[in-house]
Amino acid sequence: MSGQMPNATPYAELTPDVVLDAVDGAGHETDGRILALNSYENRVYQLGLEDGRFVVAKFYRPARWTDAAILEEHAFALELQGHEIPVVAPLVADNGRTLHEHAGYRFAVFPRQGGRWPELSSAAERAWMGRFLGRIHAVGALAPFRERRALSSQWMGHDAAATILASEWLPSHLEASYRSVTDQLLEGVERLFAATGPAKHLRIHGDCHPGNVLWTDDGPHFVDLDDCITGPAVQDLWLFLSGSRAERSTQLKDLLEGYAQFCDFDYGELRLIEALRSLRMIHHTAWIARRWLDPAFPNAFPWFESNKYWEEHVLALKEQVPALEEPALEVF
């Protein structure tokens, strides 16, 4: 399967009938019930089956990943599931396939998993989350990715900043400020990575934030490995931190208390948190710009076209420059 459909509106032909026919063809008898779920990069639907169950079908954005990269994502999810880690992995069809194609679209079918976003309001819940993150990374360290990309300041930082500077979005009066602050930030990011030394990079979730975790009475269930990459362990930890510096230190201490029960953690990576935050800020804005012609994006991010957004974005980046110089969060 090539899956190549370079198109500004790649999902224009993905009608409900196409979705239902695709899932039927993958071996699931749908009953016509279909609900579009919140997703921007891909298109995701909940579908009812004739036997009363529900499944979730994810239609991958055309031309974003190669088949091999998607299959490596699936293999990682199934490997984690095989170690009894609560990751929502794709269903394996009778022919052994997890990746299917219909009408030019590539898709996978998953079991439906209920739950709520985790609040992690107690030390016990944070330690619980940390234990599962440690288990994921213990498995992630067993073998490398060969098709997924590695976290780097090049594609998350330099390439993303270049996208914005070459676009029509950045107001002209902010261009010099944006160029200057991203240059400063990326210099600081690379200095921190160099000072931290050769971190142990492993297979990680890559986009592990509360929106990609469903919490039940049995604890967390991890979903959406679409952005799984090779990277430092701390990338899967810092997005669960919020609040003041003291609050983040307490949260991180609890996460690492659980994490350490299953996987060693290099505490030197804590110096990378603000560097990783800086890269995410730069990359996220470029991601919206690159996807703007997809109708879902103007609907979801209407403020992206306003001068106020860009002024606040440049200001936030400027505030990150001194943040890079702050000492690492204390967890002892």
Q: Which of 17, 224, 226, 227 is catalytic?
A: 224
Distance CA(102)–CA(323), nearest Å, equals 48
Tell me if residue 253 falls in helix, strand or coil.
helix
Determine contact, residues 199/232, Cβ cutoff 8 Å: yes
User: 221 with 214: CB under 8 angstroms?
Assistant: yes
Question: Of 152, 137, 145, 271, whose CA–CA distance to 204 is shortest?
Answer: 137
Q: List the one residue out of 137, 250, 129 whose CA is nearest residue 199.
A: 137
Is 266 one of the catalytic residues? no
Provide the token pair at 165: 């500077």
Instruction: Report the distance separating Cα 182 and Cα 80, nearest Å.
Output: 37
Torsion (CA) 91, 94, 95, 101 in degrees, nearest 10: -50
Residue of 207, 226, 236, 254 with catalytic role? 207
Distance in angstroms (rounded) separating the CA atoms of residues 20 and 23:
5
Task: Check if 207 is active-site.
Answer: yes
**Which residues have a catalytic role annotated?**
207, 224
